[in-house]
Copies of this chain bind each other. A is one copy, B any other.
Amino acid sequence: MAAEAGISRGTVSRVLNNEPYVSETARRAVEAAVAKVGYVRNAAARNLVTQRSRAIALIVHEPHSVVLDDPNIGNILIGTNAVLSDADHQLVTLMIDSQRDSDRVIEYLRGGFVDGAIILSARTGDPISEAIAELGLPASFVGHPPDAPAIPFIGIDNRAAAEAIVERLVATGRRRIGMLASGLDRDSGQDRLAGFQAALGDLFDPALVVRHPFYSYAAGAEGMAELLERDPHIDGVFAASDAVAAGAMDVLHRQGISIPEQVGIVGFDDSSWAIRCTPLLSTVRQPAETLGRRAAQQVLDQLLDGGEAPDGVILPTEIVWRASA
């Protein structure tokens, strides 16, 4: 390449990086040679000397339950990508589906393929989170932090949001209120349950909490059937997500129970499920795209501002009051 332009490698490098102090003559010679040879600079060599890759990883755990069922992930991705794209960084999404994946991803992170990472739906004791903390890799969690206090996060207050929406369920006169709880292995799931309990106070009855690992339609259908069996006189339901609520509503319909007259029901997420129920579902809106944007910004800030990790941030949620309760 340098030979092709008849110019030293140093000057070629300067031209390619738009550095000042390079003559028009040299610039044109290089550009011509580049076009002729179809030259493209090698990233590995560049990363080796600059110690940066201009790439940020977005790590997603467990595709079965998360990628497939979580309506927020798409919007989080869009927000993250938009911010990184503006900053001319490449977003690379890494999926973890097995122990082996986890080990390989850690290797990938340690290998310097990325300058930072955003972690979705981490769980406590997550090896990835530990590896990142240990590496000192600039990072940010979307959602509540596990026990890696060194890493900042962007989240919502699941507990307060759950409490708020359930409170209004109570305010409309419901007294036998059950919960279809999902994802209790994560803080978000636990917090929604805690908010539910807080809103109910004395009305809370642990027997009316049905647990399921996933936030799925099927979980809602099975859970609702179970709930009706435990107490046929249920008059309110808080579903851990809109998909869960949709499953529950179909079971209620099938049993001839009217919504919201006999049973009021509310969900979480304000996803596409919420607007294709009959009646339309009251739910909590998560600012998914903003979560993604802010997380990306947090990582970029650490990259530029010398690695100082910012604090965690809680974004407000909004209750969307529709017809189901």
Contacts and interface: CB of A to CB of B under 8 A. Distances in A.
A110 B38 CA distance: 11
Contact of A95 (B48, B55, B91): B91
Interface string A53-79: 101000000011001100000110110
Interface in A216-251: 217, 246-247, 250
Contact of A81 (B48, B63, B250): B63
Given A81-B95, A90-B108, 20 more contacts: A40-B107, A42-B48, A44-B44, A44-B45, A44-B53, A44-B112, A55-B108, A63-B74, A63-B81, A67-B74, A67-B77, A78-B97, A85-B97, A85-B100, A88-B104, A90-B94, A90-B105, A91-B95, A93-B93, A246-B276
B90 A91 contact: no
A33 to B, nearest CB: 17
A47 B112 CA distance: 11
A171 interface: no
Contacts of A63: 74, 77-78, 81
Contacts of A64: 78
A111 interface: yes
The complex is assembled from copies of this chain, and their number is 2
B217 A272 contact: yes
Interface string A29-46: 000000000001111111
A26 interface: no
Nearest to A216: B272
B97 A82 contact: yes
Query: Which of A48, A82, A88 is most buried by chain B, counting CB atoms within 10 A of its CB?
Result: A48
Contacts of A90: 94, 104-105, 108, 113
A88 B101 CA distance: 9
A95 B64 CA distance: 20
A43 B85 contact: no
Query: Which of A40, A44, A85 is most buried by chain B, counting CB atoms within 10 A of its CB?
Result: A44
Name the 10 nearest CB pairs between A and B, nearest first.
Answer: A43-B111, A93-B93, A44-B47, A44-B48, A68-B74, A92-B92, A40-B110, A67-B74, A90-B108, A43-B112
Contacts of A46: 111
A17 interface: no
A18 interface: no
A91 B97 CA distance: 11
A191 to B, nearest CB: 26
Contact of A42 (B45, B55, B92, B112): B112
25 contacts: A40-B107, A40-B111, A43-B111, A43-B112, A43-B113, A44-B44, A44-B45, A44-B47, A44-B111, A53-B113, A55-B113, A63-B78, A77-B95, A78-B97, A85-B97, A85-B100, A85-B104, A90-B94, A90-B108, A91-B94, A92-B94, A93-B95, A113-B113, A217-B272, A217-B276
